[in-house]
Chain A
């Protein structure tokens, strides 16, 4: 396994490569024992300016190191990246590079954006071993073509991320959850949409048949208490809402209810107003996040949930055996034009196919 310690090392290794490289960060998603190259030694926070809400860190930096540094300054990541280890039944160390390469996000995504919305700059090594930078360390920057966005979620297909600039969010003093039980899917989505249409800044909206419908409110103690009360009133028509302090939004973020690795697991992105219709046709257990915009769905091994969708949106296969991944494709295929553009971009950034094993294109 190649373990470059610097960007220059990495660039040389890619230039020297004669065939495809399987690249991993902390090994949470890549095959357990496999991989030709890891970024884990290119680690560390390069720059952290709490007063500017910005940070720059190397791609191999463990997420826990970043989150610890932020916590010490009372700050956090806006996009609340989910940790795939529980549902995948894996260990390993989630890294910033992996998080950005998969455009990870959690419940706050619906209001604060995904990883791509918080990433303000990247450095990466392309398939020819060239070191390319884009964006930087400031949060308002429209200089040139936005390759930073292109790299987010590109799953290693165009190059290996080495350094990432992030925009941050202040932390909060208090978090509370309003919960109602017994809502059907349509009622739950209606309640969540109504809540998200109020000015009371709901930052989490999850519905699961057993757990109920949950709305997260974050802020100062007095502000949370005030908004919870206003929301409870505003949503009275939808159900009986209780204020709870002990709901684990980390467990909801990581979909730990789907941890038992028996069935396939999908993440489906649709319009919230289509969510109830979608879950009515699902063959297994499901949970709504993002106010209905994200649906976690279990399905018997090998089931093609995309064929069942029949709605605009997309479905990502999160957990399945390698044969199912190969047969159905991990990510939702695009239109012919999108597929062509994707292939052509990959061919320009990686003409030798060094990263051809990565998922898109």
Chain B
């Protein structure tokens, strides 16, 4: 994976730049010694590493603006960073870039149950947002699996999802307002505690823009009352086609489950061995969860089991209690840990139209065989978001390379099936060079126009999202 060569003119003025940044942030919030920069050399895409020029960790919107203004004046690239949990390399630095981290901005600014909103500084972790309101019966819906660590800033940058998107949507559907700082230090208020924005939806534009357009320092998020209860049913099938059919039939019957998770045989076996969840050894397994009162849950689970029975399942296990629910979820929730036990893996994140599931699973199996690699699939089946896990040996000479090549082929298959490259992890550097598979040049040009407006000098996270060959002319003009 290629990154642009660092600009020697910037490297040579590091000392002067650090002196200027030191006028804004305190000494302990400015990191520039080589050994102290190491923790910032990568995010959760650990295959790629590069220490940044420096790191600043401001505590207020004003200080973020001041830091950006300095970098803008100096022509220094800025890589915004939340908690560094991106699986796509969204926070991967270059040697000539300053990392601007929001990890010290973790305040809850306002909680308002009458308006059902919470206003936070964006360095707060996803789980702490729910933590701030759950005693009062509320929660924040988007729940990426990194929610213990990931920051709201990164959630906004990547438009993060989670397992409950079918019912509650993703970050953009739960974000009502943002304070965004542009590269020149301009502070822009978008939306707020009210609904919708007049004029162009700049809030919707910034959400999911992967730090290309601005740094979001404060956010107004929608909070929801917790449902009375939730319970899952586990359904096993001997064919993945049947599992796919079951998902479609549940939706068509008018049920909107809060989650529909799919696992294939390799994943079922690995998670079962790891967690002792007692999963059936079958080709495909669904966990379907519904919400409401006990009676409402029973009613919905009744419809679902009726549908499942018609399809001749090899296992049908309806949870009747909290303990049984936990047992059903146990393996799924440990899926990534279980895979880690088997060896190194790459986690993909394509989305496909739900109806294409059997065909795409078959295609993935064929591709994997061609590479001599094993793939396990976990899948948010309700919304088509797939997470194929490619197992490989990082110590073998071409292990990573082969696994990445298979990953590329699988993502191309997702696009060809009518889906997309990334459902919730973002493009980052990981899928940057595949963008032309999904988009025509004119589509990418239109996206880059927006970047031109917000960041004319292409200083914000400049080597991400767009293929380097396509962004090169713009970055070159900007560097002059």
Show the binding face of A for B, using Cβ within 8 Å.
49-54, 73-74, 103, 105, 109-110, 113-114, 116-117, 126, 130-134, 136-147, 149-150, 152-154, 157-158, 169-173, 189-190, 193, 196-199, 219-220, 222-223, 226-227, 269-273, 290, 293-294, 312-314, 316, 331-335, 337-338, 341-342, 344-345, 348-349, 360-361
Q: Tell me which residues across on chain A come within 8 A of B8, comparing CB atoms.
A: none
Instruction: Output the least CB separation between B364 and chain A (Å).
Output: 17
Q: Does B1 lie at the interface of the complex (its beta carbon under 8 Å from any beta carbon of A)?
A: no
CB of B248 within 8 A of CB of A51, answer: yes
Known: A52-B353, A144-B447, A313-B194; 18 extra A-B contacts, CB below 8 A, are A52-B355, A52-B384, A73-B252, A133-B439, A138-B351, A138-B423, A142-B426, A143-B431, A146-B205, A147-B205, A152-B201, A193-B115, A198-B225, A222-B295, A223-B293, A226-B293, A273-B114, A342-B199
Instruction: Output the least CB separation between B86 and chain A (Å).
Output: 12
A360-B202 Cα distance, complex, nearest whole Å:
12
CB of B202 within 8 A of CB of A338, answer: yes
CB of B421 within 8 A of CB of A143, answer: yes
Give the residue name and chain of the A residue nearest to B209 (CB): A145
Q: Tell me which residues across on chain B come within 8 A of A137, comparing CB atoms.
A: 353, 418
**Can you give 21 contacting A-B residue pairs, CB < 8 Å?**
A51-B355, A52-B384, A74-B252, A74-B254, A114-B196, A116-B204, A137-B353, A138-B351, A140-B383, A142-B158, A143-B427, A147-B447, A170-B251, A220-B296, A223-B295, A271-B112, A273-B114, A273-B115, A314-B197, A345-B453, A360-B199
CB of A142 within 8 A of CB of B425, answer: yes
A172-B454 Cα distance, complex, nearest whole Å:
43
CB of B159 within 8 A of CB of A142, answer: yes
Instruction: Output the least CB separation between B320 and chain A (Å).
Output: 19
CB of A312 within 8 A of CB of B200, answer: no
Q: Tell me which residues across on chain A come within 8 A of B186, comparing CB atoms.
A: 337
CB of B446 within 8 A of CB of A147, answer: yes
Q: Does B170 lie at the interface of the complex (its beta carbon under 8 Å from any beta carbon of A)?
A: yes
Q: Does B406 lie at the interface of the complex (its beta carbon under 8 Å from any beta carbon of A)?
A: no
Q: Tell me which residues across on chain B come within 8 A of A147, comparing CB atoms.
A: 205, 446-447, 450
A148-B78 Cα distance, complex, nearest whole Å:
26
Q: Which of the listed residues A51, A132, A170, A172 has the most CB atoms from chain B within 10 Å of its own CB?
A: A51
Instruction: Output the least CB separation between B461 and chain A (Å).
Output: 12
Give the residue name and chain of the B residue nearest to A136 (CB): B420
Instruction: Output the least CB separation between A205 and chain B (Å).
Output: 11
Which 3 pairs of residues, A with B, have the shortest CB-CB distance? A149-B204, A51-B248, A140-B423
Residues A331 and B198 in contact in the complex (CB < 8 Å), given A142-B424, A196-B116, A273-B114:
yes
CB of B195 within 8 A of CB of A290, answer: yes
| Chain B 236-263 per-residue mask, 1 if CB under 8 angstroms from chain A, else 0 | 0000000000011101101110000000
CB of A117 within 8 A of CB of B173, answer: yes
A253-B208 Cα distance, complex, nearest whole Å:
31
A280-B450 Cα distance, complex, nearest whole Å:
41
Residues A50 and B299 in contact in the complex (CB < 8 Å), given A146-B208, A198-B225:
no
Q: Tell me which residues across on chain B come within 8 A of A190, comparing CB atoms.
A: 114
Q: Which of A116, A313, A337 is the one whose CB lies under 8 Å from B192? A: A313
CB of A337 within 8 A of CB of B188, answer: yes
Residues A153 and B423 in contact in the complex (CB < 8 Å), given A138-B351, A223-B296:
no
Residues of chain B in range 444-460 having any CB-CB distance to chain A below 8 Å: 444-447, 449-454
| Chain B 401-444 per-residue mask, 1 if CB under 8 angstroms from chain A, else 0 | 00000000000000000111111111100010001001110111
Residues A114 and B354 in contact in the complex (CB < 8 Å), given A144-B447, A149-B207, A341-B453:
no
A144-B88 Cα distance, complex, nearest whole Å:
13
Q: Which of B427, B435, B450 is the one whose CB lies under 8 Å from A345? A: B450
Residues A335 and B426 in contact in the complex (CB < 8 Å), given A137-B418, A140-B165, A146-B204:
no
A271-B192 Cα distance, complex, nearest whole Å:
9
A228-B358 Cα distance, complex, nearest whole Å:
41
Q: Does B377 lie at the interface of the complex (its beta carbon under 8 Å from any beta carbon of A)?
A: no
CB of B194 within 8 A of CB of A293, answer: yes
Residues A50 and B442 in contact in the complex (CB < 8 Å), given A152-B204, A269-B196, A272-B114:
no
Q: Which of A117, A140, A342 is the one whose CB lies under 8 Å from B424? A: A140
CB of B208 within 8 A of CB of A150, answer: no
Residues A103 and B182 in contact in the complex (CB < 8 Å), given A110-B195, A138-B351, A271-B193:
no
CB of A140 within 8 A of CB of B201, answer: no
Residues of chain B in range 333-367 having any CB-CB distance to chain A below 8 Å: 351-355
CB of A51 within 8 A of CB of B384, answer: no
Q: Tell me which residues across on chain B come within 8 A of A171, comparing CB atoms.
A: 254
Q: Tell me which residues across on chain A come within 8 A of B447, comparing CB atoms.
A: 134, 144-145, 147
Q: Which of B195, B384, B451, B452 is the one whose CB lies under 8 Å from A139? A: B384
A269-B194 Cα distance, complex, nearest whole Å:
6
Instruction: Output the least CB separation between B351 and chain A (Å).
Output: 4
CB of A132 within 8 A of CB of B446, answer: yes
A137-B356 Cα distance, complex, nearest whole Å:
12
Q: Which of A51, A109, A126 is the one whose CB lies under 8 Å from B446? A: A126
Q: Tell me which residues across on chain A come within 8 A of B255, comparing CB atoms.
A: 170
Q: Does B266 lie at the interface of the complex (its beta carbon under 8 Å from any beta carbon of A)?
A: no
Residues A150 and B201 in contact in the complex (CB < 8 Å), given A49-B354, A117-B169, A271-B115:
yes
Q: Tell me which residues across on chain A come within 8 A of B104, comparing CB atoms.
A: none
Q: Tell me which residues across on chain B come within 8 A of A290, comparing CB atoms.
A: 195
A242-B346 Cα distance, complex, nearest whole Å:
57
Q: Tell me which residues across on chain A come within 8 A of B204, comparing CB atoms.
A: 116, 146, 149-150, 152
Residues of chain B in range 178-195 having any CB-CB distance to chain A below 8 Å: 182, 186-190, 192-195
Q: Does B227 lie at the interface of the complex (its beta carbon under 8 Å from any beta carbon of A)?
A: yes
A334-B452 Cα distance, complex, nearest whole Å:
20
CB of B443 within 8 A of CB of A133, answer: yes
A52-B197 Cα distance, complex, nearest whole Å:
29
CB of B227 within 8 A of CB of A153, answer: no
Q: Tell me which residues across on chain B come within 8 A of A349, comparing CB atoms.
A: 446, 449
CB of A140 within 8 A of CB of B351, answer: yes
Q: Does B172 lie at the interface of the complex (its beta carbon under 8 Å from any beta carbon of A)?
A: yes
Residues of chain B in range 249-294 having any CB-CB distance to chain A below 8 Å: 249, 251-252, 254-256, 292-293
A273-B161 Cα distance, complex, nearest whole Å:
29
Residues A338 and B190 in contact in the complex (CB < 8 Å), given A138-B384, A272-B114, A290-B195:
yes
A336-B351 Cα distance, complex, nearest whole Å:
38
CB of A109 within 8 A of CB of B195, answer: yes
Q: Does B4 lie at the interface of the complex (its beta carbon under 8 Å from any beta carbon of A)?
A: no
Instruction: Output the least CB separation between B127 and chain A (Å).
Output: 20
A9-B255 Cα distance, complex, nearest whole Å:
41
